[in-house]
Amino acid sequence: MTLGRRRLNRVATISMHTSPLDQPGTGDAGGMNVYIVEVAKRLAELGVEVEIFTRQTARDLPPVAEIVPGVSVRHVTAGPYEELDRGDLPGQMCAFLSGVLRTEAMYDPGRYDVIHSHYWLSGQVGWLAKERWGLPLIHTMHTMAKVKNLLLADGDRPEPPVRVMGEEQVVDIADRLVANTVAEADELMSLYSAPPEKVSVVNPGVNLTVFQPASQGAARHRLGLPQHAVVLLFVGRIQPLKAPDILLKAAARMIAADPSLRDRLVIACVGGPSGNGLARPSLLTDLASELGITDVVRLAPPAPQHELADWYRAADLTVVPSHNESFGLVALESQACGTPVVAASVGGLRTAVKDGVSGVLVDGHDPQNWANALSSLIRQPAWRDLLAAGAPRHATAFGWSATAARLVEVYTGAMAKLHRVPVAVNL
Protein backbone atom coordinates (compact mmCIF):
# COMPACT_ATOMS: atom_id res chain seq x y z
CA MET A 1 0.00 0.00 0.00
CA THR A 2 1.38 3.42 -0.98
CA LEU A 3 0.79 6.23 1.46
CA GLY A 4 -0.55 9.50 0.11
CA ARG A 5 1.51 12.66 0.34
CA ARG A 6 0.39 16.06 1.59
CA ARG A 7 1.94 19.36 0.60
CA LEU A 8 2.63 22.47 2.63
CA ASN A 9 0.82 25.12 0.61
CA ARG A 10 -0.49 27.77 2.98
CA VAL A 11 0.17 28.92 6.56
CA ALA A 12 -2.37 30.77 8.71
CA THR A 13 -0.25 33.12 10.83
CA ILE A 14 -1.99 34.72 13.82
CA SER A 15 -0.75 37.99 15.28
CA MET A 16 -3.74 39.36 17.12
CA HIS A 17 -2.30 42.18 19.20
CA THR A 18 0.06 43.83 16.73
CA SER A 19 0.05 44.17 12.97
CA PRO A 20 3.08 43.28 10.86
CA LEU A 21 2.33 46.49 8.95
CA ASP A 22 3.00 48.66 12.04
CA GLN A 23 6.27 50.57 12.37
CA PRO A 24 8.53 48.70 14.83
CA GLY A 25 9.77 50.74 17.76
CA THR A 26 6.55 52.13 19.18
CA GLY A 27 3.26 50.90 20.58
CA ASP A 28 3.33 47.10 20.66
CA ALA A 29 5.36 46.85 17.46
CA GLY A 30 8.86 45.49 17.79
CA GLY A 31 11.02 42.53 16.89
CA MET A 32 8.02 40.22 16.61
CA ASN A 33 6.61 42.36 13.80
CA VAL A 34 9.90 42.17 11.93
CA TYR A 35 10.07 38.42 12.51
CA ILE A 36 6.58 37.76 11.11
CA VAL A 37 7.10 39.86 7.97
CA GLU A 38 10.58 38.61 7.15
CA VAL A 39 9.70 34.95 7.71
CA ALA A 40 6.53 35.29 5.62
CA LYS A 41 8.47 36.78 2.72
CA ARG A 42 11.02 33.97 2.79
CA LEU A 43 8.30 31.33 3.01
CA ALA A 44 6.68 32.86 -0.07
CA GLU A 45 10.00 32.55 -1.88
CA LEU A 46 9.86 28.82 -1.04
CA GLY A 47 6.39 28.59 -2.60
CA VAL A 48 4.47 28.61 0.68
CA GLU A 49 1.68 31.20 0.90
CA VAL A 50 1.16 33.04 4.19
CA GLU A 51 -2.01 34.75 5.39
CA ILE A 52 -1.50 36.86 8.51
CA PHE A 53 -4.51 37.56 10.72
CA THR A 54 -4.34 40.71 12.86
CA ARG A 55 -6.81 42.99 14.61
CA GLN A 56 -8.06 45.98 12.61
CA THR A 57 -7.02 49.22 14.33
CA ALA A 58 -8.31 51.79 11.82
CA ARG A 59 -11.58 52.05 9.91
CA ASP A 60 -9.87 52.82 6.59
CA LEU A 61 -7.68 49.70 6.54
CA PRO A 62 -8.54 47.33 3.68
CA PRO A 63 -9.88 43.87 4.58
CA VAL A 64 -6.82 42.34 2.92
CA ALA A 65 -3.44 43.96 2.22
CA GLU A 66 -0.73 42.29 0.17
CA ILE A 67 2.83 42.71 1.42
CA VAL A 68 4.42 40.80 -1.46
CA PRO A 69 2.97 38.15 -3.79
CA GLY A 70 2.13 35.17 -1.61
CA VAL A 71 1.94 37.16 1.65
CA SER A 72 -1.24 38.94 2.73
CA VAL A 73 -2.50 40.58 5.91
CA ARG A 74 -6.14 40.05 6.86
CA HIS A 75 -7.59 42.74 9.11
CA VAL A 76 -10.15 41.27 11.50
CA THR A 77 -12.72 43.51 13.16
CA ALA A 78 -12.60 42.89 16.92
CA GLY A 79 -13.38 45.76 19.24
CA PRO A 80 -12.94 49.48 18.57
CA TYR A 81 -10.90 50.78 15.64
CA GLU A 82 -8.01 51.91 17.79
CA GLU A 83 -4.99 50.49 19.51
CA LEU A 84 -5.99 48.81 22.76
CA ASP A 85 -3.91 48.17 25.82
CA ARG A 86 -2.86 44.53 25.88
CA GLY A 87 -4.74 44.16 29.14
CA ASP A 88 -7.99 44.89 27.27
CA LEU A 89 -7.35 42.49 24.40
CA PRO A 90 -8.44 39.23 26.07
CA GLY A 91 -11.98 40.63 25.98
CA GLN A 92 -11.79 40.79 22.18
CA MET A 93 -10.50 37.25 21.60
CA CYS A 94 -13.94 35.79 20.89
CA ALA A 95 -14.69 38.46 18.29
CA PHE A 96 -11.25 38.00 16.73
CA LEU A 97 -11.59 34.22 16.63
CA SER A 98 -15.00 34.55 14.99
CA GLY A 99 -13.47 36.68 12.23
CA VAL A 100 -10.67 34.17 11.67
CA LEU A 101 -13.10 31.25 11.46
CA ARG A 102 -15.43 33.16 9.11
CA THR A 103 -12.55 33.76 6.72
CA GLU A 104 -11.70 30.08 6.51
CA ALA A 105 -15.38 29.20 6.06
CA MET A 106 -15.52 31.26 2.85
CA TYR A 107 -13.25 28.76 1.10
CA ASP A 108 -13.27 25.08 0.35
CA PRO A 109 -12.13 22.87 3.24
CA GLY A 110 -8.38 22.50 3.60
CA ARG A 111 -7.39 26.08 2.78
CA TYR A 112 -4.68 26.10 5.47
CA ASP A 113 -2.16 23.40 6.27
CA VAL A 114 -0.76 24.68 9.54
CA ILE A 115 -1.38 27.47 12.07
CA HIS A 116 1.49 29.54 13.45
CA SER A 117 0.56 31.80 16.36
CA HIS A 118 2.74 34.51 17.87
CA TYR A 119 2.46 35.64 21.52
CA TRP A 120 0.08 34.08 24.02
CA LEU A 121 -3.09 35.96 22.95
CA SER A 122 -2.68 34.63 19.42
CA GLY A 123 -1.93 31.20 20.86
CA GLN A 124 -5.34 31.17 22.54
CA VAL A 125 -6.99 31.97 19.20
CA GLY A 126 -4.81 29.39 17.45
CA TRP A 127 -5.84 26.77 19.99
CA LEU A 128 -9.52 27.09 19.06
CA ALA A 129 -8.81 27.36 15.33
CA LYS A 130 -6.73 24.18 15.62
CA GLU A 131 -9.65 22.34 17.19
CA ARG A 132 -12.08 23.58 14.52
CA TRP A 133 -9.85 23.01 11.49
CA GLY A 134 -8.04 19.87 12.63
CA LEU A 135 -4.61 21.37 11.92
CA PRO A 136 -1.33 21.38 13.82
CA LEU A 137 -0.66 24.49 15.91
CA ILE A 138 2.87 25.91 15.96
CA HIS A 139 3.43 28.58 18.60
CA THR A 140 6.19 31.10 19.23
CA MET A 141 6.10 32.86 22.60
CA HIS A 142 8.50 35.76 21.79
CA THR A 143 8.29 36.75 25.47
CA MET A 144 7.17 34.74 28.49
CA ALA A 145 5.42 36.06 31.58
CA LYS A 146 7.31 33.83 34.01
CA VAL A 147 10.66 34.95 32.60
CA LYS A 148 9.69 38.63 32.62
CA ASN A 149 8.46 38.40 36.21
CA LEU A 150 11.79 36.94 37.28
CA LEU A 151 13.68 39.83 35.68
CA LEU A 152 11.50 42.88 36.35
CA ALA A 153 12.96 46.34 36.07
CA ASP A 154 12.55 48.70 39.03
CA GLY A 155 9.04 50.11 38.99
CA ASP A 156 7.84 47.76 36.25
CA ARG A 157 4.55 45.91 36.68
CA PRO A 158 4.58 42.10 36.80
CA GLU A 159 2.68 40.19 34.15
CA PRO A 160 -0.78 39.18 35.39
CA PRO A 161 -1.83 35.64 36.39
CA VAL A 162 -4.23 35.47 33.43
CA ARG A 163 -1.28 35.66 31.05
CA VAL A 164 0.66 33.02 32.96
CA MET A 165 -2.33 30.69 32.83
CA GLY A 166 -2.92 31.46 29.15
CA GLU A 167 0.69 30.64 28.29
CA GLU A 168 0.54 27.39 30.21
CA GLN A 169 -2.56 26.39 28.25
CA VAL A 170 -0.90 27.19 24.91
CA VAL A 171 2.21 25.21 25.86
CA ASP A 172 -0.01 22.27 26.69
CA ILE A 173 -2.13 22.37 23.51
CA ALA A 174 0.42 23.37 20.84
CA ASP A 175 1.85 20.66 18.58
CA ARG A 176 5.21 22.42 18.36
CA LEU A 177 6.79 25.27 20.31
CA VAL A 178 9.37 27.37 18.49
CA ALA A 179 12.11 28.82 20.72
CA ASN A 180 14.44 31.53 19.45
CA THR A 181 17.45 30.14 21.31
CA VAL A 182 18.56 27.13 23.34
CA ALA A 183 18.19 29.29 26.46
CA GLU A 184 14.55 29.99 25.61
CA ALA A 185 13.96 26.30 24.96
CA ASP A 186 15.35 25.54 28.41
CA GLU A 187 13.00 28.14 29.94
CA LEU A 188 10.00 26.58 28.20
CA MET A 189 10.92 23.20 29.60
CA SER A 190 11.92 24.29 33.11
CA LEU A 191 9.31 26.99 33.78
CA TYR A 192 6.39 25.66 31.72
CA SER A 193 7.09 21.91 31.77
CA ALA A 194 7.08 21.80 27.95
CA PRO A 195 7.90 18.29 26.70
CA PRO A 196 11.34 18.40 25.03
CA GLU A 197 10.03 16.65 21.91
CA LYS A 198 7.62 19.54 21.30
CA VAL A 199 10.29 22.27 21.45
CA SER A 200 12.26 23.28 18.35
CA VAL A 201 15.02 25.90 18.36
CA VAL A 202 14.88 28.24 15.35
CA ASN A 203 17.13 31.30 15.48
CA PRO A 204 15.65 34.52 14.08
CA GLY A 205 17.56 36.29 11.34
CA VAL A 206 18.52 39.67 9.97
CA ASN A 207 17.93 41.27 6.58
CA LEU A 208 21.49 41.18 5.29
CA THR A 209 20.55 43.20 2.21
CA VAL A 210 19.33 46.21 4.20
CA PHE A 211 21.65 45.90 7.19
CA GLN A 212 25.24 45.86 5.93
CA PRO A 213 28.36 47.95 6.54
CA ALA A 214 28.67 51.33 4.82
CA SER A 215 30.31 54.70 5.43
CA GLN A 216 29.94 56.00 8.97
CA GLY A 217 30.68 59.53 7.82
CA ALA A 218 27.98 59.49 5.14
CA ALA A 219 25.45 58.12 7.60
CA ARG A 220 26.29 60.84 10.13
CA HIS A 221 25.94 63.49 7.45
CA ARG A 222 22.48 62.24 6.49
CA LEU A 223 21.38 62.18 10.14
CA GLY A 224 22.92 65.51 11.07
CA LEU A 225 25.37 64.03 13.58
CA PRO A 226 28.84 65.55 14.19
CA GLN A 227 31.56 63.69 12.32
CA HIS A 228 33.91 63.48 15.28
CA ALA A 229 31.35 62.71 17.97
CA VAL A 230 31.27 59.63 20.17
CA VAL A 231 27.82 58.25 19.33
CA LEU A 232 26.16 55.70 21.62
CA LEU A 233 22.91 54.37 20.19
CA PHE A 234 19.77 52.89 21.76
CA VAL A 235 17.10 51.48 19.45
CA GLY A 236 13.79 50.14 20.67
CA ARG A 237 10.58 50.80 22.49
CA ILE A 238 10.85 53.19 25.41
CA GLN A 239 9.70 51.08 28.35
CA PRO A 240 11.24 49.76 31.59
CA LEU A 241 11.91 46.31 30.11
CA LYS A 242 14.24 47.78 27.47
CA ALA A 243 16.07 49.86 30.13
CA PRO A 244 17.11 52.94 28.12
CA ASP A 245 17.49 54.68 31.49
CA ILE A 246 20.59 52.56 32.14
CA LEU A 247 22.32 54.15 29.14
CA LEU A 248 21.48 57.69 30.27
CA LYS A 249 22.62 57.01 33.84
CA ALA A 250 25.84 55.46 32.54
CA ALA A 251 26.44 58.48 30.30
CA ALA A 252 26.08 60.84 33.27
CA ARG A 253 28.71 58.84 35.16
CA MET A 254 31.03 58.84 32.16
CA ILE A 255 30.81 62.63 31.89
CA ALA A 256 31.35 63.02 35.63
CA ALA A 257 34.54 60.93 35.35
CA ASP A 258 35.73 62.76 32.22
CA PRO A 259 34.08 66.20 31.78
CA SER A 260 35.83 66.70 28.42
CA LEU A 261 33.65 63.90 27.02
CA ARG A 262 30.58 66.16 27.19
CA ASP A 263 31.66 68.09 24.10
CA ARG A 264 31.92 64.90 22.02
CA LEU A 265 29.26 62.55 23.38
CA VAL A 266 25.91 61.97 21.66
CA ILE A 267 23.37 59.61 23.23
CA ALA A 268 20.92 58.80 20.41
CA CYS A 269 17.67 57.04 21.34
CA VAL A 270 15.52 55.90 18.42
CA GLY A 271 12.07 54.65 19.38
CA GLY A 272 8.76 55.53 21.00
CA PRO A 273 6.97 54.84 24.28
CA SER A 274 5.35 51.45 24.65
CA GLY A 275 3.77 49.18 27.24
CA ASN A 276 4.32 50.47 30.77
CA GLY A 277 6.33 53.32 29.24
CA LEU A 278 3.10 54.88 27.97
CA ALA A 279 2.34 55.93 31.54
CA ARG A 280 5.31 58.31 31.37
CA PRO A 281 6.05 59.20 27.74
CA SER A 282 8.49 61.96 28.76
CA LEU A 283 10.63 59.54 30.77
CA LEU A 284 13.88 60.03 28.84
CA THR A 285 13.46 63.80 28.53
CA ASP A 286 12.79 64.09 32.26
CA LEU A 287 15.65 61.76 33.16
CA ALA A 288 18.13 63.60 30.93
CA SER A 289 17.16 66.86 32.63
CA GLU A 290 17.46 65.32 36.08
CA LEU A 291 20.92 63.95 35.24
CA GLY A 292 22.07 67.21 33.67
CA ILE A 293 22.81 65.67 30.26
CA THR A 294 20.03 67.14 28.12
CA ASP A 295 22.66 68.64 25.83
CA VAL A 296 24.07 65.22 24.86
CA VAL A 297 20.81 63.30 24.44
CA ARG A 298 19.09 63.18 21.06
CA LEU A 299 15.67 61.55 20.79
CA ALA A 300 14.38 60.35 17.41
CA PRO A 301 11.13 58.63 16.43
CA PRO A 302 10.99 55.03 15.20
CA ALA A 303 12.60 54.73 11.78
CA PRO A 304 12.01 52.53 8.73
CA GLN A 305 14.66 49.91 8.07
CA HIS A 306 16.76 51.85 5.55
CA GLU A 307 17.01 54.84 7.93
CA LEU A 308 17.56 52.57 10.91
CA ALA A 309 20.55 51.08 9.11
CA ASP A 310 22.01 54.59 8.91
CA TRP A 311 21.62 55.03 12.67
CA TYR A 312 23.53 51.81 13.27
CA ARG A 313 26.30 52.81 10.85
CA ALA A 314 26.55 56.28 12.39
CA ALA A 315 27.05 54.90 15.90
CA ASP A 316 30.30 53.89 17.53
CA LEU A 317 28.45 51.43 19.75
CA THR A 318 24.88 50.20 20.01
CA VAL A 319 23.75 49.70 23.60
CA VAL A 320 21.13 47.04 24.46
CA PRO A 321 20.64 47.11 28.26
CA SER A 322 17.34 45.18 28.32
CA HIS A 323 16.30 43.29 31.43
CA ASN A 324 15.28 40.43 29.16
CA GLU A 325 15.20 39.66 25.43
CA SER A 326 13.99 36.46 23.82
CA PHE A 327 16.55 37.17 21.10
CA GLY A 328 17.47 40.80 20.43
CA LEU A 329 17.08 41.69 16.75
CA VAL A 330 18.47 45.18 17.37
CA ALA A 331 21.79 43.66 18.38
CA LEU A 332 21.90 41.55 15.25
CA GLU A 333 20.96 44.43 12.94
CA SER A 334 23.66 46.65 14.45
CA GLN A 335 26.34 43.99 14.06
CA ALA A 336 25.29 43.37 10.46
CA CYS A 337 26.00 47.07 9.84
CA GLY A 338 29.47 46.70 11.35
CA THR A 339 28.73 48.39 14.68
CA PRO A 340 29.67 46.48 17.85
CA VAL A 341 27.09 45.99 20.58
CA VAL A 342 27.31 46.39 24.33
CA ALA A 343 24.43 44.29 25.65
CA ALA A 344 23.06 42.88 28.85
CA SER A 345 24.06 39.28 29.42
CA VAL A 346 20.47 38.03 29.47
CA GLY A 347 18.24 35.71 27.44
CA GLY A 348 18.76 35.60 23.71
CA LEU A 349 21.33 38.40 23.75
CA ARG A 350 23.88 35.78 24.77
CA THR A 351 23.27 34.20 21.36
CA ALA A 352 22.78 37.36 19.32
CA VAL A 353 26.06 38.87 20.57
CA LYS A 354 29.31 36.90 20.58
CA ASP A 355 31.07 38.25 23.65
CA GLY A 356 34.55 39.56 22.85
CA VAL A 357 34.12 38.95 19.12
CA SER A 358 31.18 41.08 17.92
CA GLY A 359 30.47 42.99 21.09
CA VAL A 360 30.59 42.92 24.87
CA LEU A 361 28.11 41.40 27.32
CA VAL A 362 27.61 43.15 30.66
CA ASP A 363 26.38 41.37 33.78
CA GLY A 364 23.63 43.11 35.74
CA HIS A 365 22.21 46.62 35.37
CA ASP A 366 24.38 48.74 37.62
CA PRO A 367 24.90 52.00 35.65
CA GLN A 368 28.47 52.24 36.91
CA ASN A 369 29.35 48.86 35.40
CA TRP A 370 27.85 50.00 32.11
CA ALA A 371 29.77 53.27 32.29
CA ASN A 372 32.99 51.31 32.83
CA ALA A 373 32.32 48.99 29.89
CA LEU A 374 31.44 51.84 27.52
CA SER A 375 34.35 54.03 28.64
CA SER A 376 36.81 51.18 28.10
CA LEU A 377 35.66 50.76 24.52
CA ILE A 378 35.74 54.50 23.86
CA ARG A 379 39.29 54.76 25.20
CA GLN A 380 40.50 51.77 23.19
CA PRO A 381 39.63 52.37 19.52
CA ALA A 382 41.77 49.42 18.42
CA TRP A 383 39.64 47.06 20.51
CA ARG A 384 36.49 48.70 19.17
CA ASP A 385 37.75 48.28 15.61
CA LEU A 386 38.44 44.61 16.27
CA LEU A 387 34.87 44.11 17.45
CA ALA A 388 33.58 46.12 14.49
CA ALA A 389 35.34 43.69 12.15
CA GLY A 390 33.89 40.69 13.97
CA ALA A 391 30.36 42.07 14.13
CA PRO A 392 29.26 41.51 10.50
CA ARG A 393 31.01 38.13 10.39
CA HIS A 394 28.92 37.03 13.36
CA ALA A 395 25.70 38.49 11.92
CA THR A 396 26.04 36.76 8.55
CA ALA A 397 25.42 33.43 10.29
CA PHE A 398 21.84 34.59 10.88
CA GLY A 399 19.75 35.00 7.73
CA TRP A 400 15.97 34.99 7.42
CA SER A 401 16.12 32.40 4.64
CA ALA A 402 17.69 29.93 7.05
CA THR A 403 15.02 30.76 9.63
CA ALA A 404 12.23 30.10 7.11
CA ALA A 405 13.80 26.85 5.92
CA ARG A 406 14.04 25.60 9.50
CA LEU A 407 10.42 26.59 10.14
CA VAL A 408 9.34 24.59 7.09
CA GLU A 409 10.93 21.55 8.74
CA VAL A 410 8.95 22.26 11.91
CA TYR A 411 5.70 22.72 9.97
CA THR A 412 6.08 19.60 7.85
CA GLY A 413 7.15 17.54 10.84
CA ALA A 414 4.02 18.56 12.75
CA MET A 415 1.84 17.89 9.71
CA ALA A 416 3.38 14.47 9.13
CA LYS A 417 2.80 13.46 12.73
CA LEU A 418 -0.82 14.63 12.69
CA HIS A 419 -1.75 13.12 9.32
CA ARG A 420 0.68 10.18 9.44
CA VAL A 421 1.77 10.76 5.85
CA PRO A 422 4.91 12.32 4.37
CA VAL A 423 4.72 16.08 3.72
CA ALA A 424 6.42 18.05 0.97
CA VAL A 425 6.85 21.76 0.27
CA ASN A 426 4.99 23.02 -2.78
CA LEU A 427 8.07 24.03 -4.79
Binding site as annotated, residues for Mg(2+): 312-313, 315, 339
pLDDT of residue 425: 75
Binding site as annotated, residues for 1D-myo-inositol 3-phosphate: 17, 28-33, 86, 119, 143, 163
| Core vs surface per residue 378-403: b (16+ CB within 10 A) or e | beeeeebeebbebbbebbeebbbbeb
Pair (189, 68) in one structural domain: yes
pLDDT of 275 over the 80 cut: no
Pair (298, 404) in one structural domain: no
Indicate which CATH number applies to the domain containing 364. 3.40.50.2000
Pair (180, 270) in one structural domain: no
Binding site as annotated, residues for UDP-N-acetyl-alpha-D-glucosamine: 23-24, 31, 237, 242, 325, 333
Supply φ then ψ for residue 360, to 5 degrees: -130, 135
Distance between CA atoms of residues 427 and 56, nearest Å: 32
Distance between CA atoms of residues 414 and 137, nearest Å: 8
pLDDT of 407 over the 60 cut: yes
Instruction: Kindly state the percentage of the chain with pLDDT values over 90.
Output: 77
Q: What angle do CA 165, 171, 172 make, to 5 degrees?
A: 90
pTM to 2 decimals? 0.88
Pair (258, 198) in one structural domain: no
What mean pLDDT is reported for the chain? 91
Task: Report the pLDDT averaged over residues 302-311.
Answer: 94
Instruction: Kindly state the percentage of the chain with pLDDT values over 70.
Output: 94
Pair (183, 278) in one structural domain: no
pLDDT of 203 over the 90 cut: yes
pLDDT of residue 2: 37
Compare 42 and 422 and report the one with higher pLDDT: 42
- 55, 351 Cβ separation under 8 angstroms: no
The candidate with the shortest Cα–Cα distance to 358, out of 380, 378, 383, is 383
The candidate with the shortest Cα–Cα distance to 335, out of 381, 378, 386, 395, is 395
pLDDT of residue 152: 79
Q: What angle do CA 221, 224, 230 make, to 5 degrees?
A: 85
The candidate with the shortest Cα–Cα distance to 314, out of 266, 386, 375, 354, is 266
**Residue 421: Cβ within 10 Å count:** 11
Count of domains for the chain: 2
Compare 424 and 234 and report the one with higher pLDDT: 234
Q: Is residue 425 part of a domain?
A: no
Residues with Cβ within 8 Å of 121's Cβ and at least 6 positions away in sequence, in order, are 16, 17, 86, 89, 90, 93, 166
Positive or negative, the CA dihedral 203, 207, 213, 218 is negative
**Residue 189: Cβ within 10 Å count:** 17
Quick one: angle between helices 161-173 and 182-192, nearest 10?
100
Q: Residue 175 carries which DSSP code?
A: S
pLDDT of 134-149, one tens digit each? 999 999 999 899 998 9
Pair (393, 413) in one structural domain: no
Binding site as annotated, residues: 17, 23-24, 28-33, 86, 119, 143, 163, 237, 242, 312-313, 315, 325, 333, 339
Q: How confident is the model at residue 247 (pLDDT cuts 50, 70, 90)?
A: very high
pLDDT of residue 4: 54
* Residue-number span of the structural domain to which 305 is assigned: 216-397
pLDDT of 363-398, one tens digit each? 999 999 999 999 999 999 999 999 999 999 999 999
pLDDT of 44 over the 50 cut: yes
pLDDT of residue 28: 62
pLDDT of 282 over the 90 cut: no
Pair (185, 308) in one structural domain: no
Q: Is residue 426 part of a domain?
A: no
Pair (108, 70) in one structural domain: yes
pLDDT of 106-162, one tens digit each? 999 899 999 999 999 999 999 999 999 999 999 999 989 999 899 877 777 889 999
What is the tally of helices (H) and strands (E) in the chain? Answer: 15, 16
pLDDT of 276 over the 70 cut: no
